[in-house]
Amino acid sequence: MSHLLSVSDLHVGFGKDPVANEVVHGIGFTLDPGETLAIVGESGSGKSVTALSVNRLVDFGGGKITGGRIDFTLGSGAVIDLAAAPEKELAAIRGREIGMIFQEPMTSLNPVHAIGEQIAESFRLHHGLTGKQAMRAAIDALERVRIPDAARRLKYHPHQLSGGMLQRVMIATALSCNPRLLIADEPTTALDVTVQAQILALLSELKRESEMGLVFITHDIGLVAGIADKVMVMQNGKAVEQGRPMRCSMIRSIPIRSIF
Amino acid sequence: MTLLRSIFAHPSGRIGGTIVALYLIIAIMGLVGLTPHDPLMQFRIDRLHAPSATYWMGTDLLGRDVASRLMIGIAQSFIVSFASVALATVLGIVLGLTAAWFGSYWDGTIMRAMDVLLAFPAILLALLIITIVGPGTWTSVMAIAFVYTPIFTRVVRGPALSLKTREFVDAARTFGSSRTYILSRHMLLNLVAPLTVQVTLALAWALLTEAGLSFLGLGTQPPQASLGLMLSEARNLMEMAPWLLVFPAFAIMIGILGFNLLGDALRDILDPRSRGAVA
């Protein structure tokens, strides 16, 4: 059986000469449905670039995939190489098959729109729902991430909600189309510790409910033990360690040690 | 509605808003023909009549009622300024957004072209265009729009450049939103505040430019009336019939004052720093 996501020998570079300015040097990993892969590493180790390459958002930041394959199994069972797919196909896959949440919930939502509309956006795009139906679906999505009184909250603007609530909204938006893969780029870094725990619990619950794969990026190695099935430690654009969490060798490979 | 209320809560907004509203009413009355006399009718026996109960602002050399002509003049000037500013806004949004979005050579080409246009004094550039195309109401609309497009392009491009890198644009991409959708829903709506202020201020300049062009005989053509044209017709009779000059001149001055005060108020009201958040 093929994996949900299988990345092999991925090279990503930036700028006019992406081969010379390579920042990710030959990363490879696999992920099965219902599995969580944690990518851990210090700042600048290439973990976010790796994750952004999976849904090819890296293209918009001036990056380019210079080598390797990203094989992704679609809901229909077909396997597609995302590294080579044209932008049109990617746009249909983003949101529908691959969801993403970002580090800063405050800035990931547009300040001028009510949150309901922002959630409804992806229902309109991918399911062709009309105004009322999309709003109804948005209420369900908010209830799914355990936001109480969802119907009233739909009309709130981002500045009226707390960081934890906004991150729930982001998760609701990312999960609105039941993606098979969710990429979470440091989803709890901007939140305080108690909210962090809630969001992590919510993510694992939602993952169990829908059997989706989760790529979880963090620089907080403490979170990894609780949430991950697999860990990849990155340093300088290379995977320095891969395996199950909390092996002794992994603790030794925590990048900070190499500085001393 | 909340915007209207905050305009009237702001001291200069109250004055500016009242003036602009008053001008709009006068302009509409002028357009639908609710003038004291027919603005084109020549009352030959009452030529150069001083302001009186019959002729509130006197009559001109041909015996036409100045008050009535002032009303359709204001209407004419407003039509030209609103049309040209609307055109300039649309052009500026399209050019500025695409320049910021696509960047690179497209950005370079557009912005250098805009710099060249900005280097000319507004009235001179408008004169050049009208000299080429020929005078008339719609030519002056085109010319004024053309002259003010660079300003709108810059006003849009600056914030658009910073909005483009905001995370919610990335987030919209992760939902699979198309480029047009991101540009119109996420970028443009965040630009409404600076654009509103710019539109109000541009209306004041456009009013002045239109008056200038008509004064030089290149805008509105006689026998139609516009504020600039009335000034131009009055300037030889300044000593004999000062009312011919005073009323249109004041109309221009107060109108521009109104737009500027309104613009100032809008800037205060829509400034996110003074309000916390743009909602």
Q: Are residues A135 and A150 in the same domain?
A: yes
Within-domain flag for A247: yes
Say how many C-beta atoms besides its own lie within 10 A of residue B21's C-beta: 12
Within-domain flag for A102: no
Q: Report the chain A residue with the minimal C-alpha distance to residue B193.
A: A112
**Domain end residue (candidates: A127, A153, A178):** A178
Q: Are residues A200 and A87 in the same domain?
A: yes
* B contacts of A108 (beta carbons < 8 Å): 167-168, 170-171
**Domain end residue (candidates: A148, A178, A208):** A178
Q: Are residues A57 and A156 in the same domain?
A: no
Please, which residues have CB within 8 angstroms of residue B201's CB and are 6 or more apart in sequence? Answer: B259, B260, B263
- pLDDT for the residue B110: 92
Strand order in the sheet with A22-31: A22-31, A5-14, A63-73, A79-81
Measured between alpha carbons, how far apart are the two ends of chain A, in Å? 44
Domain limits for position A115: 107-178
Compare CB distances from A94 to B173, B181, B185 and report the shortest one's residue: B173
- pLDDT for the residue A111: 84
Q: Given a cut of 70, is residue A253 above it in pLDDT? A: no
Nearest CA to CA, how far is A250 from chain B (Å)?
32
The answer to whether B98 and B106 are in contact (CB under 8 A) is: yes
**Domain end residue (candidates: A126, A143, A178):** A178
Compare CB distances from A108 to B168, B176, B178 and report the shortest one's residue: B168
Q: Which two tokens stand for residue A169?
A: 């909204």
pLDDT in tens, A56-86: 888 887 888 888 888 888 888 888 888 888 8
Domains located in chain B, CATH noted: 2-43+56-275 (1.10.3720.10)
pLDDT in tens, A145-172: 888 888 888 888 888 888 888 888 888 8
CATH number for the domain harbouring residue A74: 3.40.50.300
Q: Are residues A118 and A241 in the same domain?
A: no
Q: Report the chain A residue with the minimal C-alpha distance to residue B101.
A: A60
Q: Are residues A129 and A51 in the same domain?
A: no
Torsion region of A238: left, alpha or beta (phi above 0 gives left; psi -120 to 50 gives alpha): beta
Residue located via tokens 């990617």: A90
Within-domain flag for A88: yes
Q: Are residues A14 and A73 in the same domain?
A: yes
What ipTM, to 2 d.p.? 0.74
Q: Are residues A147 and A218 in the same domain?
A: no
C-alpha distance from residue A192 to each of A109, A163, A215, B118, B137 (Å): 19, 9, 21, 50, 63
Within-domain flag for A73: yes
The residues in A 111-170 lying below 8 A from B, measured between CB atoms, are 111-113, 121-122, 125-126, 157, 159, 170
Nearest CA to CA, how far is A102 from chain B (Å)?
8
Q: Are residues A91 and A56 in the same domain?
A: yes
Q: Are residues A149 and A50 in the same domain?
A: no
Q: Are residues A9 and A92 in the same domain?
A: yes
Within-domain flag for A234: yes
Q: Are residues A252 and A144 in the same domain?
A: no
Mutate to test the interface with A, among B168, B183, B189, B195 (most CBs of A within 10 A): B168
Q: Report the chain B residue with the minimal C-alpha distance to residue A99.
A: B174
| The residue count for chain B | 279
Compare CB distances from B190 to A92, A112, A173 and report the shortest one's residue: A112
Torsion region of A245: left, alpha or beta (phi above 0 gives left; psi -120 to 50 gives alpha): beta
* Closest by CA position to B41, among listed B72, B70, B69: B69
Task: Express as a percent the part of chain B with pLDDT over 90.
Answer: 27
User: Number of structural domains, chain A?
Assistant: 2
pLDDT in tens, B116-130: 999 988 888 888 888
Q: Given a cut of 50, is residue B278 above it in pLDDT? A: no
Compare CB distances from B175 to A102, A107, A125 and report the shortest one's residue: A125
Least confident window among A164-173, A208-217, B80-89, B269-278: B269-278
Q: Are residues A83 and A114 in the same domain?
A: no
Within-domain flag for A249: yes
Contact status of B176 with chain A (Cβ, < 8 Å): yes
